[in-house]
Amino acid sequence: MMITDSQLRPTPPPTGVAVLEVESEPESIKAARDFVADWFTEHEYDGDLVYLARTVVTELATNAHRHGSANGDPITTRVFHTDAGPVIEVLDASAKLPSVEPLTLDGLTGRGLAMVDLMVPAWGFARLQEGGKVVWALLRAHA
């Protein structure tokens, strides 16, 4: 389910948010993936969920790099627990929001967020007061 109401963005706990900030470059995608995979592994989520988390953050970080930043702009990845399940957030400095278009058979792009939508119970995006935006995904606690 895509959620565009920023009020419905999952609330991070006061402590226990893991944060990775990198400069936008192709390697930032792997950095975000490894960071998230390590967090899910350390918190003893099962292998299927670690795999899912890797896939989700790869799509969000690829988008932040490709669509939401110029080289060197910050990309921030955050992970935390909520009562509903673990949440992955990717923040970038661009105010441009994701746009999910209907899939076409011959399109070569526009698949990433559609795939995320199938994999998680809820995801969404919101502009940030400090500028830029966040794209977030709530994962089921069990894959």
Ligand X SMILES: Nc1ncnc2c1ncn2[C@@H]1O[C@H](COP(=O)(O)OP(=O)(O)OP(=O)(O)O)[C@@H](O)[C@H]1O
110 interacts with, out of ligand X, Mg ion, none, CB within 5 to 8 A per kind: ligand X
Interface pick for ligand X out of 27, 96, 121, 127 (rule CB under 6 A): 96
Least Cα distance to 123 among 138, 133, 113, 111 occurs for 138
Footprint of Mg ion (CB under 5 A) = 63, 112
Asked if 109 interacts with ligand X (CB under 6 A), we say yes
Residues in Cβ contact with 128 at an 8 Å cutoff, skipping those fewer than 6 apart: 91, 134
Select 67 or 81, whichever has its Cβ closest to ligand X: 67
Footprint on residues 51-70 left by ligand X (CB under 6 A)? 59, 63-64, 67-68
CA atoms of 67 and 45, how far apart (whole Å): 30
| Residue 98 in contact with ligand X, rule: CB under 6 A | yes
Kindly state whether residue 6 participates in binding ligand X, applying the rule CB under 6 A.
no
Reported in sequence order, the residue ranges of 14-108 that DSSP labels E, i.e. its strands, are: 18-23, 74-82, 85-92
